[in-house]
Amino acid sequence: MPGIIRLNSFLSRCGICSRRQADKYISEGRVKVNNIVVTVLGTKIETDNDIIEFDGKKINIPRENSYFILNKPAGVVTTLYDPQERKTIRSYTEEIGIRLFPMGRLDYDSEGLIILTDDGELSHRIQHPRYGIEKVYVLETDNVLNQKELSKIRKGIMLDDGLMKVLSIRINSKSARGASYRITIAEGRKRVLRRLFDKIG
């Protein structure tokens, strides 16, 4: 990535963090350009000439990014560190020797595919709502939803942090034990589907 780019974008492309998190690190004075602490957001750098440091360590431009798909089991936290000392996805990546972070998250009790990468720019594009990247979930319930409940979900349900609307919801299968639904959304609020279905009851 030769040329002049914003400092937060540089940190993101080098796999340090997302651009939003980079702005936070810059504001905290954790980033240096040519041995000078930079705290001004929007600062631009010359990747060919400037020396960038984060937490006292020089950042080298990676030649290529890494991408892994993890089939996350239930009982694992989708973070690199958990203050409650529960198992995290880091336990699956330590031997790789690359600092990887998850694109999005799955709840502790959820399981499914999640992408791990050091590509902060791609991670930002996939996770930010304005890009409208669709995410597909399969959700199992103890009861079969009736048409009235399905209609409510399709129209949108007000949660504590705003209106939640799915792009689509359809039944996969049903049995005496409940049903399975395929749900497509374009946002990533915390535990949003669990909270939506809790609202339905």
Q: Which residues are catalytic?
A: 107
Spatial contact of 201 and 157, defined as CB atoms under 8 Å apart? no
Query: Could you tell me which residues are beta bridge partners of residue 180?
Result: 140, 173
Q: Determine how many CB atoms are found less than 10 A away from the CB of residue 26.
A: 23
Spatial contact of 140 and 178, defined as CB atoms under 8 Å apart? yes
Packing angle between helix 192-200 and helix 147-155, nearest 10 degrees? 140
Spatial contact of 29 and 78, defined as CB atoms under 8 Å apart? no
CA distances from 77 to 87, 89, 91, 163 (A): 6, 6, 10, 26
Report the C-alpha dihedral over residues 48, 50, 53, 58, rounded to 10 degrees.
50
CA distance 199 to 201: 5
The strand order across the sheet containing 178-185 reads 135-141, 178-185, 168-175
